[in-house]
Chain A
Amino acid sequence: MPDRDAIFKRVRTSLLQSSGGAPLPDYDPSALVAKPRLTGAGLWENFAQNFGAVSGRPMTELGEVVSFLKSEGVSYGYCDLALCERFETVLDEIGIEIVSTYDRERYDDYQFGITRAAGAIAETGTVILTDSSTSDRLGALTPWIHIAVLPEACLIETVGEALASFDPDETTIIWATGPSKTADIEGILIEGVHGPGEQVCLLML
Chain B
Amino acid sequence: MPNPIEQYARDLSEETREAVRKSGALTTGQRVEILQKDYEDPDALRRLAGEIKQHTIDHLDSYLEQAEASLTKAGAKVHFASDADSARQCVLGILQQSDVQRVVKSKSMATEEIHLNPFLEKQGIETVETDLGEFIIQIDEDTPSHIVRPIIHKKREEVAESFEKHGLGDYNTDPETITRRARVHLREKYMQSGAGITGGNFVSAESGRIVLVTNEGNARFSMAPNKVHIAVIGIEKIVPRDRDLAVFLNLLARSATAQQLTVYTQFIKGPRMPSQPSGPEEMHVVFLDNGRSQILGESCREILRCIRCGACQNVCPVYRHASGHAYRAVYGGPIGAVLSPLLGGKASFPEYADLPKASSLCGACREVCPVDIPIPDMLLKLRHKGKKQGVSTPGSFPMAPFATLATSPTAWRTAMTAARAMNYLPMKLAPIKPLRDWLGDRTLPKWRGGDFRRWLKTRKGNNADA
Interface residues of A (CB under 8 A from B): 1, 3-4, 6-8, 10-18, 20-25, 27, 29, 31-32, 34-37, 50, 54, 102, 104, 107-108, 123-126, 131-132, 134-138, 141-142, 158-160, 163-164, 166, 168-188, 190, 192-196
Contacts and interface: CB of A to CB of B under 8 A. Distances in A.
Nearest to A107: B191
A37 B38 contact: yes
Given A6-B82, A17-B298, A141-B220, A181 B215 contact: yes
B207 A194 contact: no
Which 4 interchain pairs have the tightest Cβ spacing?
A195-B217, A14-B297, A21-B58, A34-B38
B260 A34 contact: yes
Contact of A176 (B37, B154, B209, B263): B263
Contacts of A177: 259-265
Interface stretch (B2-10, B47-55, B453-461): B47-55
A7 B287 CA distance: 10
Given A141-B217, A193-B179, A193-B183, A163 B245 contact: yes
B224 A137 contact: yes
B26 interface: yes
22 contacts: A3-B79, A15-B58, A15-B59, A15-B61, A18-B301, A21-B58, A22-B51, A23-B55, A24-B240, A131-B275, A138-B278, A168-B207, A169-B273, A171-B271, A174-B265, A174-B266, A176-B264, A177-B265, A181-B263, A190-B175, A192-B179, A194-B187
A171 B220 contact: no
A175 B289 contact: no
Given A14-B293, A138-B278, A184 B133 contact: yes
Interface string B291-302: 001111110010
Nearest to A168: B207
B446 interface: no
Nearest to B89: A3
A180 B260 contact: no
A11 B260 contact: no
Most buried by B among A17, A21, A22, A196: A22
Contact of B23 (A6, A50, A131, A187): A187
Contacts of B207: 166, 168
Contacts of B275: 131-132
B439 interface: no
Contact of B296 (A18, A35, A125): A18
A6 to B, nearest CB: 5
Contacts of B27: 187
Interface string B251-289: 000000101111111111111110111110000000101
Contacts of B268: 171-173
B100 interface: no
Given A7-B293, A108-B187, A175-B261, 20 more contacts: A3-B79, A7-B82, A17-B297, A18-B58, A20-B58, A31-B45, A34-B250, A37-B38, A102-B277, A136-B276, A136-B277, A166-B209, A172-B270, A172-B272, A182-B133, A182-B179, A184-B150, A187-B22, A194-B186, A196-B217
Contacts of B58: 15, 18, 20-22
B130 interface: yes
Contacts of A16: 297
Interface of B: 19, 22-23, 26-27, 37-39, 44-45, 48, 51-52, 54-55, 58-61, 64-65, 74-75, 79-82, 86, 130-133, 136, 149-151, 154-156, 159, 175-176, 178-180, 182-183, 186-187, 190-191, 207, 209, 215-218, 220-221, 223-225, 235, 240, 242-243, 245-247, 249-250, 257, 259-273, 275-279, 287, 289, 293-298, 301
A11 B242 contact: no
Given A3-B81, A190-B175, A193-B132, A13 B297 contact: yes
A172 B273 contact: yes
A3 B218 contact: no
A180 B216 contact: yes
Given A184-B136, A195-B221, A163 B246 contact: yes
A106 to B, nearest CB: 11
A138 B225 CA distance: 7
Contacts of B179: 182, 185, 190, 192-193
B127 to A, nearest CB: 17
Contact of A175 (B132, B225, B265, B271): B265
B294 A14 contact: yes
A159 B243 CA distance: 9
B273 A31 contact: no
